[in-house]
Amino acid sequence: MPAQIIDGNQLAKQIRVDIATRVAILTAKGIKPGLAVILIGEDPASQVYVRNKVKACEDVGMFSLLEKKPADTTEASLLQRIAELNADPNIHGILVQLPLPKHIDSHRVIEAIAPEKDVDGFHVANAGALMIGAPLFRPCTPYGCMKMLESIDYPIRGARAVIVGASNIVGKPMAMLLLQAGATVTICNSKTKDLSAHTRDADILVVATGKAKMITANMVKPGAVVIDVGINRIERDGKVKLVGDVHFESASKVAGAITPVPGGIGPMTTAMLLVTWPATFDVVVTENLFGDILSDEAAVLAGSLGMLPSASLGA
């Protein structure tokens, strides 16, 4: 039987409607979430991602500020601009599009963003908070993968999850989220011996390597859920085509459920930026207004989301 297709476009659409309602409530209270997006250079893929993020914000009624800077922007001037945005009360989230040009140290830039405005969740304070099971911001791509599993009511508790790819932005946070949801997690990388032995053991297989179509049907356990994070541009007949890290045509004949590329985790990543941000936003804003005392509403929200107040992150 062919696999169930987990439709990222459809799920993302529902999420956007929910968020628009939430933003309307915040706006009625006189609080308009503001996101600053910084793009350095002319990378075409980054331009598309940034445009999508800004549009997604605007579509749900959030304020967004897009700052495009030339490729020769200095690290010092970028850090200076981040410091200004950290102090700007109208900006609640800051997103610096990666990758940055080689002369700029990405790690230093991420660490310069105030943790309570780090909507990507890449700052070490946020990565650490995620690791101890108390995230303020969950990185959008792994969070989107979790929502996709949730959308098919997949019983994660006790399942065997294998993640192929161990990057800081996808593989590692994905492992943390699955572990916290009760899965038994294995993370594979390019040095893993006998990769197929691991992937064939997976009830949940998440692939994020950047290697087009590398996971084929014989590497998938029959009935498994396959989440394909990869976005690879390949040329065919003079046209550019997007494909994932999974060989969809064959794997979808073996898997129980699978995400397509395009139309899978891609649209979910942008949608989850909107989810992670207003949810956290309520807590941070309430804290800023009332000091250490959270309102009942925000405290319930913080509890239900398993979040720590930003003060606990040393912000």
Interacting residue ranges for ligand NDP, rule: CB under 6 A: 141, 164-167, 169-171, 188-192, 195, 208-211, 214, 229-232, 245, 265-266, 269
- Known active-site residue 97: yes
- Known active-site residue 4: no
CB-based closest residue to ligand NDP:
167
For the bound state, the minimum distance from the C-beta of residue 166 to ligand NDP, rounded and expressed in Å, comes to 4
- Known active-site residue 120: yes
Q: Which is nearer to ligand NDP, 164 or 258 (CB)?
A: 164
Q: Which is nearer to ligand NDP, 164 or 285 (CB)?
A: 164
Q: Which is nearer to ligand NDP, 14 or 196 (CB)?
A: 196
For the bound state, the minimum distance from the C-beta of residue 165 to ligand NDP, rounded and expressed in Å, comes to 3
Q: Which is nearer to ligand NDP, 126 or 209 (CB)?
A: 209
The active-site residue out of 53, 117, 147, 221 is 53
For the bound state, the minimum distance from the C-beta of residue 264 to ligand NDP, rounded and expressed in Å, comes to 7
For the bound state, the minimum distance from the C-beta of residue 177 to ligand NDP, rounded and expressed in Å, comes to 15
The active-site residue out of 97, 213, 228, 282 is 97
Q: Which is nearer to ligand NDP, 151 or 295 (CB)?
A: 151
For the bound state, the minimum distance from the C-beta of residue 160 to ligand NDP, rounded and expressed in Å, comes to 17
Q: What single string gives the DSSP state of each residue in the chain?
A: -PPEE--HHHHHHHHHHHHHHHHHHHHHTT---EEEEEEES--HHHHHHHHHHHHHHHHTT-EEEEEEE-TT--HHHHHHHHHHHHH-TT--EEEEPSSPPTTS-HHHHHHHS-GGGBTT--SHHHHHHHHTT--SS--HHHHHHHHHHHHTT---TT-EEEEE---TTTHHHHHHHHHHTT-EEEEE-TT-SSHHHHHTT-SEEEE-SS-TT-B-GGGS-TT-EEEE---EEEEETTEEEEE-SB-HHHHTTT-SEE--SSSSHHHHHHHHHHHHHHHHHHHHHHHHHHTT---HHHHHHHHHHTPPPGGGGT-
The active-site residue out of 117, 118, 120, 282 is 120
Active site residues: 53, 97, 120
